């Protein structure tokens, strides 16, 4: 699998996100963080491992993107309160931190520098998805 490094979060921001996490957990290959259609209250910071974002298309599962160490799964959920539009599937043993979306929003409102870094990160995720769709 092609692992292009994207604009990952700074170590400082990663450590601050860990400090507001509700807990850390380890999951095995094949386990789900959440399913398409779920209403999710959490985002997940990956410390180690890999999570695939998968979307149903014509009754087939289509891999949208893989996320790795230092990335946040479900970051789009902080902007919308709708059902998840994809499934997050663990593809190798993974350790991650579970962060309540409301806590993350509070954190961002108090940390403007982190908000700017997060916008750059989200922009890099969009580019990653576009490149995977073109090269896919």
- Of 17, 54, 64, 22, nearest to 41 by C-alpha is 22
Per-residue pLDDT of 34-52, as tens digits, reads 999 998 899 999 999 999 9
Q: How many domains does the chain have?
A: 1
User: Which residue range is the domain that position 47 belongs to?
Assistant: 11-135
In 3D space, the residue among 61, 56, 65, 104 whose CA is nearest the CA of residue 83 turns out to be: 56
Q: What angle do CA 12, 7, 64 make, to 5 degrees?
A: 125
On whether residue 75 sits in a domain, the answer given is: yes
Q: Is residue 5 part of a domain?
A: no
CATH number at residue 87: 2.60.120.10
The string of pLDDT tens digits covering residues 94-114 is 999 999 999 999 998 888 778
């Amino acid at each position: 699998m092609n692992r292009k490094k994207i604009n990952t979060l700074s170590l400082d921001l990663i450590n601050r996100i860990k400090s507001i996490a509700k807990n850390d957990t380890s999951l095995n290959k094949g386990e789900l963080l959440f399913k398409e259609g779920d209403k999710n209250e959490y985002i997940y910071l990956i410390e180690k491992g890999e999570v695939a974002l998968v979307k149903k298309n014509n009754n087939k599962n289509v891999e949208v993107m893989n996320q790795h160490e230092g990335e946040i799964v479900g970051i789009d959920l902080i902007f919308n309160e709708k059902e998840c539009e994809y499934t997050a599937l663990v593809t190798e043993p993974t350790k991650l931190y579970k962060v309540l979306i409301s806590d993350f929003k509070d954190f961002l409102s108090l940390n403007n520098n982190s908000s700017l870094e997060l916008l750059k990160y989200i922009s890099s995720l969009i580019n990653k998805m576009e490149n995977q769709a073109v090269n896919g």
